[in-house]
Amino acid sequence: MLRTLMRQGNFRVTYPDGGTKSYGDGKGTAVHVTVHDKATLKQLALNPELGLGESYMNGTLTIENDDIYGLLTLAIVNMHAGNAPGWIASAGKLRNGLRWIAQNNPVGKAKDNVAHHYDLSGQLYDLFLDTDKQYSCAYFERPDMTLEEAQVAKKRHIAKKLLIEPGMTVLDIGCGWGGMGLTLAREYGAKVVGVTLSEEQHKIARARARAEGLEDQVDFRLMDYRDVTETFDRIVSVGMFEHVGVPHYREYFSNVRDRLAEDGVALIHFIGRTDPPGATNPWVTKYIFPGGYCPSISESMKAVEKERLYTCDIEVWRLHYAETLKHWHDRFMANRDRVEALYDERFCRMWRFYLVACELTFRLNDQCVFQYQLARKQEAVPLTRDYLYRDDVEPVRAPVATHAAE
């Protein structure tokens, strides 16, 4: 398996019998791993996408100098080059074929999937997120921005795309710990309804609203977005669409359309892929985001088109999430002892593997962030993008068509 897969780079393996072999073209710094038992060898050969993360978590595979960046770089580069053996490629095709089953997220199951990740200790997220607890891609307008500055820039950019005005009503689908909703209320005068399925997030978001005296402006609800019945001037959804699942895309965008006022604007921000539709990495599905999936434009936009929504703007953020994840990783590692006190060493290895793997997927593979600006009317947003980048220019609205007789 390794002779087929590891054709680029300098990879060395010490096997359970003590022997060491080298793979790749020998270029670059060597990455040296030790596999400690035969069961791990079998798992890695048959299903490396699952086995690599599990063996690192369990300590049955160790890396010299704990060079997880080096190991995952080699793995991603070689997998992306199409070097995977036939049986591994076939397993990927099978997962693609079964993804409608794996990503079926009805209301009850969706809540369980959310709880798996987002109902972990709130203290954990405090150890690596910014002060506003933004658990989504930041926007690095300058490379020297701090994480806090880049998250503020992300919220400001989204608010501009929403064309928020005081008194407008906003639905925040997947409101997290409340940062976006509180910002739109506090700084833009909006009245916000935020919905989440995470009990931990809901509790913290409500407490933040009380602490800021914004309870009259922000209503955080523990409920599925599909159960919301009001209509809103604006809809925002940041980092939630990845949890919807392919079978529910039309249902999602149908709800966006039904909840949006006739002249309303929606901004959907999510992780996507620039390659064709596929399936989620099995390790990520099992340990990090059950039911999660990052879609391509082709499959997500098909649902938008069928629900009669105008696509007013599509923006692609390429390396912004890689930089965000690097900040999260560095903060996590600086607080690793405190994370271990909350959980254990195995959890620390699992979380580090997750953060590094995701960062490198954005840097080296086909992952990015999409922002869809959607509306029920073409003229709901300005004719040009100038309003996003210039504070001194009043947005020019699209003209409303009139009949020739008039």
CA 404, CA 108: separation in Å to the nearest integer?
Answer: 53
Q: Which residues contact 341 (CB under 8 A, 6 or more apart)?
A: none
Beta strand extents in 147-295 (DSSP E only): 169-173, 191-196, 218-222, 232-238, 260-273
According to DSSP, the β-strands at 20-24 and 31-35 are unpaired
Q: Which residues in 255-286 are b (16+ Cβ under 10 Å) and which e? A: bbbebbbeebbbbbbbbbbeeeebbbbbbbbe
> What residue type is 192 in one-letter code?
V
Q: Shortest CA distance to 301 belongs to which of 234, 358, 252, 368?
A: 252
According to DSSP, the β-strands at 10-14 and 31-35 are parallel
Q: Shortest CA distance to 373 belongs to which of 298, 302, 295, 316?
A: 316
187 DSSP β-pair partners = none
Phi, psi for 175 (deg, rounded to 5) = -80, -5
Residue with tokens 């039911």: 291
Q: Shortest CA distance to 140 belongs to which of 384, 327, 297?
A: 327
> What residue type is 262 in one-letter code?
E
Q: Shortest CA distance to 332 belongs to which of 319, 313, 349?
A: 349
* Pair 287, 354: CB distance under 8 Å: yes
3-state secondary structure of 313: strand
Q: Shortest CA distance to 274 belongs to which of 234, 316, 329?
A: 316
The reply to whether 358 belongs to the active site is: yes
According to DSSP, the β-strands at 260-273 and 367-375 are antiparallel
Q: Shortest CA distance to 274 belongs to which of 372, 367, 370, 369?
A: 367
Active-site residue (options: 137, 294, 358, 368): 358
Catalytic positions: 358
